[in-house]
Amino acid sequence: MQRQVPLLLIILVFHMSTGLRCINNCEQNFNISQPFNSFDNRCGRPVEDAYRCYVKMQFFFHLDEVTMLFITGTSTNKDFIRIEPNRTKHFSYQIEYACDNFDDCARTFAEKKMIEMKEKSYNISSIFNDFDVLLSRTDTSKELTCYDGNRTTNLCSTPDKLCYLEHHQISDTTDASSCPQEFNNPTVNVIVNDQGYGAGLFVRCSRHLCNTAETVNTVKQILFKHQITDKNGRTRSWTTSTGTTVISVFFHIVPALLLICIINFM
């Protein structure tokens, strides 16, 4: 009977330490405008002992395309939006999502997010127009004046330069940069990089003295108007899907320690 107890404990430990079932090493492509019900079975058999499920969704709204990449083990949670309203007419939205709360949680998230994005039916032309009016100048022959980090003005030497600002969402502070030299082939754009614990809003603009906190507020209003972000420029509520990470780690480490104790006991 003394050996039956360790055997039962070993079975219990094995059950507690069993990993997640997740899609792995699978990429699928879709047209955003086409009907969508669920992902097909081209991904083959899922991994049965994953520690965490993960999906990267890349929406290219200007191309009407979306790509999905499913893997396991990655812990990144991040949203990245890029809008270039005039020269390149680019609007992409990348979502990285990791979870450990139930089997195939990344697939479940991706299916819901796919339907949600389709239902928003973004008016791409209106989005480009709103940002173009706010950020782009009509007369590109004149030199551009921008604010620098000390709120003083600088005159850009060439007409193709841009004003730049970086807004820190958590601290609600804005840094301005005048005519940065590191950008090749600069184009007016808006970038949102939201990772939950940190978030930034980056703007390149070509209007006179456009890199200001006032521009940030108007950018947020446009993003909210088109249901791209909330009114604060954030992409999600960030009630983390890996909020169970501490518990998950507990139920992976503790069984291993118990197994060591059992082996020593036997």
Is the residue at 24 inside a domain? yes
Q: How far is Cα 127 from Cα 192, in angstroms, rounded to an integer?
A: 15
The domain containing residue 192 runs over which residues? 123-238
Residue 244: per-residue pLDDT:
43
Looking at per-residue pLDDT, the higher value among 126 and 14 belongs to 126
Are 161 and 111 contained in the same domain? no
pTM as predicted:
0.82
Q: What is the pLDDT of residues 186-245, one digit of tens each?
A: 789 999 999 988 899 999 999 989 999 999 999 999 999 999 999 999 998 766 454 444
Q: Which range scores top for mean pLDDT: 53-57, 148-152, 181-185?
A: 53-57
As a whole-number percent, the residues of the chain with pLDDT over 70 amount to 77
Query: Which residues pair with residue 215 across a beta bridge?
Result: none
Is the residue at 11 inside a domain? no
Residue 8: per-residue pLDDT:
45
Are 142 and 72 contained in the same domain? no
Please identify which residue in the block is written with the tokens 């906190």.
213
Residue 16: per-residue pLDDT:
44
Residue 55: per-residue pLDDT:
95
Is the residue at 2 inside a domain? no
And the tokens for 37?
């019900």
Residue 264 contacts by C-beta under 8 Å, 6 or more apart in sequence?
none
Domain count, the chain: 2
Q: How far is Cα 132 from Cα 216, in angstroms, rounded to an integer?
A: 14
Residue 264: per-residue pLDDT:
56
DSSP 39-87: --STT-SPEEEES-EEEEEEEETTTTEEEEEEEES----EEEEEEE-SS
Structure confidence at residue 160 as a pLDDT band (50, 70, 90): low
Q: How far is Cα 228 from Cα 242, in angstroms, rounded to an integer?
A: 24
Sign of the dihedral defined by the CA atoms of residues 185, 186, 187, 191, in that order: positive
Residue 35: per-residue pLDDT:
82
* 3-state SS class at 250: helix
Is the residue at 6 inside a domain? no
Are 39 and 127 contained in the same domain? no
And the tokens for 106?
């990344």
Is the residue at 36 inside a domain? yes
Q: What is the pLDDT of residues 66-125, one digit of tens each?
A: 999 999 988 889 999 999 998 889 999 999 999 999 999 999 999 999 999 988 889 999
10 contacts 262 by C-beta, under 8 angstroms: yes
Residue 33: per-residue pLDDT:
86
Instruction: Give the angle subtended at the CA of 100 by the CAs of 169 and 196, to the nearest 5°.
Output: 0
Q: How far is Cα 257 from Cα 43, in angstroms, rounded to an integer?
A: 35
Residue 253: per-residue pLDDT:
45
- Lowest-confidence segment of 82-91, 168-177, 244-253 by average pLDDT: 244-253
Is the residue at 251 inside a domain? no
Are 94 and 65 contained in the same domain? yes
Structure confidence at residue 130 as a pLDDT band (50, 70, 90): very high
| Dihedral, 84, 86, 90, 95 alpha carbons, nearest 10 | 30
Is the residue at 232 inside a domain? yes
Are 54 and 82 contained in the same domain? yes
- Checking if the pLDDT of 176 tops 70, the result is yes
SS3 for 169-208 is CCCCEEEEECCCCCCCCCCCEEEEEECCCCEEEEEEECCC
Are 101 and 166 contained in the same domain? no
Mean pLDDT of 143-167: 81
| Dihedral, 90, 232, 215, 149 alpha carbons, nearest 10 | -100
Query: Which residues pair with residue 193 across a beta bridge?
Result: 80, 200
Q: What is the pLDDT of residues 5-62, one digit of tens each?
A: 454 444 444 444 458 899 899 998 999 888 877 776 777 778 888 889 999 999 999 9
Is the residue at 129 inside a domain? yes
Q: How far is Cα 207 from Cα 27, in angstroms, rounded to an integer?
A: 41
Are 142 and 170 contained in the same domain? yes
